[in-house]
Structures are given as structure tokens and as C-alpha cells.
Amino acid sequence: MFMQINNLKVHYPIRGGFFNRVVDHVYAVDGITMEFEKGKAYGLVGESGCGKSTTGKSIIGLEKISSGNIIYEGEDVTNKRRDRKSAYNRDIQMIFQDSHSAMNPRKRVQDILAEPIRNFLSLSPQEERKRINELLAIVGMPEDSKLKYPHEFSGGQKQRLGIARAIATNPKLIIADEPVSALDLSVQAQVLNFMKDIQNEYGLTYLFISHDLGVVKHMCEHISIMYKGRFVETGETKDIFENPQHIYTKRLLSAIPEVSPTGREDRKRERVNVETHYQKEHSKSFDDNGRVFDLVPIKESHFVAASPTVKEVI
């Protein structure tokens, strides 16, 4: 395990009243704990507004952490994340959903790719050029594309450039925030295949943030389901899909459309059942404030949020 996130919280103040005082907080991320092992892919799944993107951003240092800490290779880096020269910043990189708006439209591809290199590696101009050619070769783009501007590429190509930039400094962890949700099916397949290839080749760790359970299932060994800033269930992909415990996970799984028209009447009935069950069990699955309970282990790798009083039921 090379990275650990302990009880991470991101709270946004809500200001109001006469002196614009802090009247309340939005608990965007409210106490999550994760561990990353080298070369594995971790999925973070949830509906919009559940705090999954905030989690990713706070790990990389784009969001202020209210409390909790991040241990990276045995060192507490919680307050060093924004330090320009720190190794942490070099080793953790991010891929964004909309690669078009993540790239400066007035820079050529070679300058976009050179940015992380200039920031973190001290290379001579020749070495830098060589590295850029290398990166373009890794993501399967022709060498002459380095003189072009972002708008000259298609969505899939832009996403690949985004990946090229993320791997420029040989990072160890890549946080991918919905990397394929803006892409068409066939292009999505290209990008996913390619992300798997570079993972195998360079031993990368991924934190894969997505709302698409199909994609996450395909990419990740470990999945965490997030709801209202907390984990409701976390475990190996197999555990989550074959043996979901939390009512919220069950509801999420039943909502995914299956790519087969056979038996859709049954699925609809099943969905309605799960939904009524969800409404009925809602009070038991969440505490009085609607907050998700703390995680309780079911087995070594599978945790589920459960009330301390009904532990024995599970």
C-alpha cells in the first residue's frame, strides 16, 4: 500500500445572516477512508452531487481539506499537496472529463504536453522534445500533431492528449474523473483499452471516478459506492456486483439498463420491488439526519454501512 486516505472531510461553509457569518456547512465529503495499492484500479461510483469529484479533487489538491489526512509513501502530505515542487504533485496526476476545456486553446499540443515536464522534470530542450515524441507515440498519435491546436482534434483524440499530459511525469496514481462519459461508444472503447494498456505497462494506479457502473466494472478491481459524501459500500468488484449488501447499492444496480431486451418486464418489476423496499428500509439504512452509517466489515475486503444496532442482522 503506497497511499492512504484517512477520514477525509471537505465541508463548504454556507454563509448568511447579518454579518455574513457561517451559518451551516455542506458536507460534500464527510469522512471517507481509502487505501491504494500499486498497480490496481479503484472505482468511485455515485450519483451526481454525491461528492465523488470533490473527493478526487481534494486528493490531488484542488480542493481544501477540512479534516483528515493523506499519507503518501509513509509521509503525511495533507498540507504539502499544493506545494509546487513536491514529489507528490509529480506522482499524482489527473484526467478530466471534458478534455477540451482542460487544455489551453491557444497553446500547441507540444506546449501543453511540455507543461508538466517543465514543472517537474529538468530536461534539456532536446530531451524535452524527445519526451514529447515518446508521449505521442504512447498514446498512438502521429508526431506532426504536436504542432496542432486542441480544437483540431476529435473528442477521442483530445482525451488521449489529456492522458498523454497526465503520464508525462511518470506518475504513480492517476485520478480519472469521468474520463469517457463524453465519448461515443466506439471511441470510449478505444480510450478504455488504451488506459488498461498503459496501466499494465507502467504499473499505474487508477482512481476511476464515474457514474457508469459498466465502465467501472470493466476497469476496476475495487469499487466504492458513495452517497451523500460517505461510502455506503466498498469492496472487490465481484463482491459489489454479486453480493451487494446495502439497499442503496441494490437500488443503483437494479437501475442499470441491461443490454438485452429479453426479460425486461421482469427487470421492471424487480426495479419497482427494490424501490419500494428502498423507501421502506430508508429509515433503517440511514441515521436520523439522513447520514450514512459507518462502515462495518462483512469480510476482509467487503465493507458496508450499517447501523451499530442492527449489525447482527447482516
Partner 1 sequence: MKTTDELLRIKNLHTGFRIKDTYFDAVDNVSLTLRKNEILAIVGESGCGKSTLATSVIGLLDRNKTRIQGEILYKNKNLALMNEEELNEVRGLDISMIFQDPLSALNPLMRIGEQIEESLIYHTDLTKEQRTERVLELLGQVGINNPERVARQFPHELSGGMRQRVIIAIAISCKPQIIIADEPTTALDVTIQAQILDLLIDLQNETGAGIILITHDLGVVAEIADRVAVMYAGEIIEEAPVEELFNNPKHPYTRSLFNSIPQMSQENSRLNVIEGIVPSLINLPREGCRFSSRISWIPEEAHEETPTLHEISPGHFVRCTCWKHFHFKSDIGGSHHVHAD
Residues forming the site for partner 1 (CB under 8 A): 47-48, 154, 156, 184-190, 192-193, 196, 211, 213-215, 217-219, 237, 251-252, 254-262, 264, 267-268, 271-272
Q: What minimum distance in Å lies between the beta carbon of 68 and partner 1?
A: 27
Question: Which C-beta is closer to partner 1: that of 47 or that of 128?
Answer: 47
Question: Which C-beta is closer to partner 1: that of 219 or that of 292?
Answer: 219
Question: Which C-beta is closer to partner 1: that of 168 or that of 213?
Answer: 213
Question: Which C-beta is closer to partner 1: that of 14 or that of 272?
Answer: 272
What is the CB neighbour count within 10 angstroms for residue 281? Answer: 15
Question: Which C-beta is closer to partner 1: that of 131 or that of 211?
Answer: 211
As a whole number of angstroms, the distance between CA 217 and CA 58 comes to 24
- Answer whether 106's CB lies under 8 Å from 85's CB: no
Q: What minimum distance in Å lies between the beta carbon of 184 and partner 1?
A: 4
Side-chain-side CA neighbours of residue 195 (13 Å): 33
Q: What minimum distance in Å lies between the beta carbon of 251 and partner 1?
A: 6
Q: What minimum distance in Å lies between the beta carbon of 235 and partner 1?
A: 15
Q: Where are the beta strands (DSSP E) in 17-153?
A: 21-36, 41-45, 67-72, 75-76, 92-95
Q: What minimum distance in Å lies between the beta carbon of 241 and partner 1?
A: 10
What residue type is 44 in one-letter code?
A: L
310 in helix, strand or coil? helix
> Cell triple for residue 143?
508526431
For residue 32, report the phi and psi dihedrals to the nearest 5 degrees. Answer: -115, 150
Strands 205-210 and 173-177: parallel
